[in-house]
Structure 1
Amino acid sequence: MTWKRKTTAAASALLFAVGGMLVTASPAVADGPCPANQLCLYDGRHFTGNRIISRSTNACFYPQDVSDRFRAIMSYDNNLPVHAMVWSYRYDTGGYSATRAMPTGGFSSDNGGTNLGAFEMDQVCMGHARP
C-alpha cells in the first residue's frame, strides 16, 4: 500500500470512530452504491465528487464542518432506516427552515443545481433531530 492509501485509510477509520461520518475526496472512490444503513451525500451530480457518509439516526451535522472541500449537496442516497432533512439557516429570522427532505430509501442523482447545504450554518438532520 502506498503512503497515500495508508494515510487515507487511517483518516477514514478515525472519522468513523469519532462521529460516524466519512468524507471521501476522490471522485473515483465516491462512485458506486451507498452502503446499507447509511446516508450518502455527494457534491457532484449522479453520485460523484466528494462524499459525506453518515450512520447517525438521530443527530444533526454541518456539512461544511465535515469537510472544507465539500461544496453543496448535488445528489444523495438515503439507506438509513429514518428520513433526513436539510435545514437552511435564515439570517433574517435567526432560525432554520426545512429545505429538502431525503426520505428513507430515497435518492436523487441531481437536485437541480441549488446550493443545498452549501452555507456555513446549514445542517443535515436525521430522524427526529432538529437544529
Structure 2
Amino acid sequence: MNLRRKIAVLVSALALSVGGGVLAAPPAAADEPCASNKLCLYRSTLYRTMEFSTGSVSHCWWLPDYNLGPHPWSGIVSYRNNLSVKATLWWVYQDDWNATALATISPGSHSSDTQGGHFAFDYSKAICTGDAKPWNHIAL
C-alpha cells in the first residue's frame, strides 16, 4: 500500500473509533438512586439533583434549608418515598405557627416530574414523615 492509502485507512479507523465512543457514552444526567429505606426529594426532573434524603419515620424538616422551599427556589420536582410511612407536605405560617397540610406522599410512591402547577410541590415549606407535625419539630 502506498503512503496515501495507509493514511486514509488510519484516519478512517480513528474516525470510526471516536464516533463509536461518542455513541456509547453514558447519559450526562443519570438519575440518583434512593435507598430502599429512604425518602428522597430532588430539585430536578428524572430523580436528578437530590437535595434531601432521610430514613426517619417520624420527624419534620424545613424545606428551604435543603434548597427545596417555596419559589423563588425550585420546589420539589421529583421524589421517591421508599419509607414504610407517608410524608406530608405543609404550608407553615411563621407568624402564628398555623400549618396546613397540602399533600401526602404515600409509602412506595414516586414521581419523576411533579411540575405542572401542583401547588404542594412548588410551595411547601416543610415535610414531615409518619404522623409528625411541624409545630412539634421545627424551630423557626
TM-score, with structure 2 as normaliser: 0.61
- CA separation in 2, counterparts of 1:93 and 1:68? 22
1:73–1:115 CA contact under 8 A, matched in 2: no
- CA separation in 1, counterparts of 2:60 and 2:100? 14
- CA separation in 1, counterparts of 2:44 and 2:33? 14
- 1:103 aligned onto 2:103: no
Matched with 2:90 is 87
1:125 to 104, 112, 128: 128
CA-CA distance at 1:111 after TM superposition: 1.4
- CA separation in 2, counterparts of 1:123 and 1:54? 14
- 1:40 aligned onto 2:40: yes
CA-CA distance at 1:112 after TM superposition: 2.6
- Specify the structure having the higher radius of gyration (Cα): 2
CA-CA distance at 1:37 after TM superposition: 0.5
Higher strand share: 1
Matched with 2:66 is 66
**1:62 maps to amino acid:** W
User: Which one is further off, 106-115 or 56-65?
Assistant: 106-115
Aligned length: 103
**1:84 maps to amino acid:** A
TM-score, with structure 1 as normaliser: 0.64
**1:45 maps to amino acid:** T
Gaps of 5+ in 2: 1-27, 135-140
- CA separation in 1, counterparts of 2:108 and 2:67? 25
What is the CA RMSD across the aligned residues, in angstroms? 3.0
- CA separation in 2, counterparts of 1:47 and 1:62? 20
Change (3 A) 1:65 1:118: farther
- CA separation in 2, counterparts of 1:28 and 1:103? 27
Quick one: percent identity of the two aligned structures? 31
2:82–2:107 CA contact under 8 A, matched in 1: yes
1:88–1:117 CA contact under 8 A, matched in 2: no
- CA separation in 2, counterparts of 1:68 and 1:44? 10
Matched with 2:80 is 77
